[in-house]
């Protein structure tokens, strides 16, 4: 493109404008541009003063450790009681000519004993005759519930025994005494004297449970002569056993 006079004039005009802008810029700098490259204002001098020592940040106060106040008297666990329903889940036990089975009486009474003890706040549990739990079983009391044969028509009364070779004879004698007294009181039945069999004192569970667990076995009565009591007054029968166990536990 050829230069025309008009183009030349415009170029000169632009140069003049650029110069003018340059002059204005220099003047603006001299007046104190914000970046301060051309002039030093008093305010800027101030910024060169040693900066104030930064206040130390506040040491964070340690957060209060949540204090766990130990209970002075730990709430004692309710006593644990194991109750075996004799022959349950194993065999019938003694059988009467009319078909009444010992296991039926035992399970009825043992279930009631457990229910009464649980109602009273004990940790009672019902166990079958040969429970897997019996090996080394630990509890505050252990009672196995049985009933006597139907074969001696005139025989009446109950029996309570503990293991012959006891590791804690005083404790177990006390359990036997409590059961005997409370059971007699609740049922009106007498102890069937001189009939604690060798079987009772070497009862299998006594050799399975922990030797420190106080254990006893009770024969509630005879299936023949004491039948009415065992079948019709099962609640009183169970109360007698439960009170006997509670008597033992409360004296501890
Ligand atoms: Zn039995």
Q: What is the pLDDT of residues 22-68, one digit of tens each?
A: 665 655 666 655 544 444 444 444 444 555 655 656 665 656 666 66
> What is the Å distance from ligand 1's center to 8 Cα?
133
At 135, which CATH number?
3.40.630.40
Chain segment 129-187, per-residue pLDDT in tens: 999 999 999 999 999 999 999 999 999 999 999 999 999 999 999 999 999 999 999 99
Q: Which domain holds residue 133?
A: 80-250
131 in Cβ contact with 88 (< 8 Å): no
Asked whether residue 6 is domain-assigned, the answer is no
Quote the ligand 1 centre to 216 CA distance (angstroms): 13
Q: Indicate the average pLDDT of the chain.
A: 84
- Per the DSSP assignment, residues forming a β-bridge with 219 are 146, 159
Residue 200 within a domain: yes
Q: How many domains does the chain have?
A: 1
pLDDT at 50: 54
**Mean pLDDT computed over 235-241:** 98
Res 251: pLDDT: 85
Provide the pLDDT for residue 193: 80
Q: Is residue 246's pLDDT more than 60? A: yes
Asked which of 66-70, 186-190, 195-199 is least confident by mean pLDDT, the reply is: 66-70
| Ligand 1 center to 148 CA (angstroms) | 7
CA of 176 to the centre of ligand 1 (A): 18
Give the distance (Å) from ligand 1 centre to CA of residue 146. 4
How many C-beta neighbours within 10 Å does residue 251 have? 10
Cα–Cα distance measured from residue 118 to residue 158, given in angstroms and rounded to the nearest whole number: 24
| Distance from residue 47's CA to the centre of ligand 1 (Å) | 103
Q: How far apart are CA 126 and CA 113, in angstroms?
A: 9
Give the integer Cα–Cα distance in Å for 223 and 242: 21
Distance from Cα 224 to the centre of ligand 1, integer Å: 14
Task: Let me know if residue 218 belongs to a domain.
Answer: yes
The answer to whether the beta carbons of residues 15 and 8 sit under 8 Å apart is: no
Q: What percent of the chain has pLDDT over 90?
A: 64
Flag whether pLDDT at 1 surpasses 60: no
Q: Determine the distance separating the centroid of ligand 1 and the alpha carbon of 190, expressed in angstroms.
A: 19
**Those residues with Cβ within 8 angstroms of residue 155's Cβ, 6 or more apart along the chain or in another chain:** 148, 149, 192, 195, 222, 224, 225
Distance from the alpha carbon of residue 78 to the mean position of ligand 1, in angstroms? 29
Confidence band of 200 (pLDDT split at 50, 70, 90): confident
Pairing of strands 141-148, 215-222: parallel
What's the gap in Å between 28 CA and the centre of ligand 1? 117
The pTM for the full model equals 0.71
Residue 207 resides in a domain: yes
Report the Cα 118 to chain-centroid distance in Å: 16
Ligand 1 centroid distance, CA of 171 (Å): 24
For residue 235, is it within any domain?
Answer: yes
- DSSP H or E segment with residue 215: strand 215-222
Distance 87 CA to ligand 1 centre (A): 6
Compute the distance from residue 45 Cα to the ligand 1 centre, in Å.
Answer: 108
Does residue 52 belong to any structural domain of this protein? no
Which has more confidence, 34 or 122? 122
**93 in a structural domain:** yes
Strands 159-161 and 123-127: unpaired
Is 73 within a domain? no
């Amino acid at each position: 493109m050829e230069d025309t006079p008009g183009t030349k004039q415009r170029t000169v005009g632009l140069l003049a404008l650029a110069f003018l802008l340059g002059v204005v810029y220099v003047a603006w700098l001299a007046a104190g541009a914000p970046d301060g490259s051309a002039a030093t204002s008093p305010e800027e001098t101030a910024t060169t003063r040693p900066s104030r020592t930064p206040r130390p940040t506040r040491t964070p106060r340690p957060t209060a450790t949540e204090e766990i106040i130990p209970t002075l008297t730990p709430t004692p666990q309710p006593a644990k009681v194991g109750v075996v329903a004799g022959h349950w889940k194993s065999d019938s036990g003694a059988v009467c000519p009319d078909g009444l089975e010992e296991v039926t009486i035992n399970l009825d009474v043992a279930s009631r004993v457990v229910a009464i003890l649980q109602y009273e706040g004990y940790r009672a549990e019902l166990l079958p005759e040969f429970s897997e739990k019996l090996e080394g079983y630990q509890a505050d009391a252990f009672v196995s519930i049985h009933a006597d044969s139907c074969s001696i028509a005139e025989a009446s009364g109950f029996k309570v025994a503990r293991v012959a070779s006891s590791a804690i004879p005083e404790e177990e004698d006390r359990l036997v005494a409590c059961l005997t007294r409370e059971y007699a009181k609740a049922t009106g039945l007498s102890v069937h004297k001189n009939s604690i069999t060798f079987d009772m004192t070497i009862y299998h569970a006594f050799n399975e449970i922990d030797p420190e667990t106080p254990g006893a076995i009770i024969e509630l009565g005879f299936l023949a002569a004491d039948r009415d009591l065992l079948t019709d007054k099962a609640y009183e029968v169970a109360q007698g056993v439960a009170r006997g166990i509670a008597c033992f536990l409360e004296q501890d």
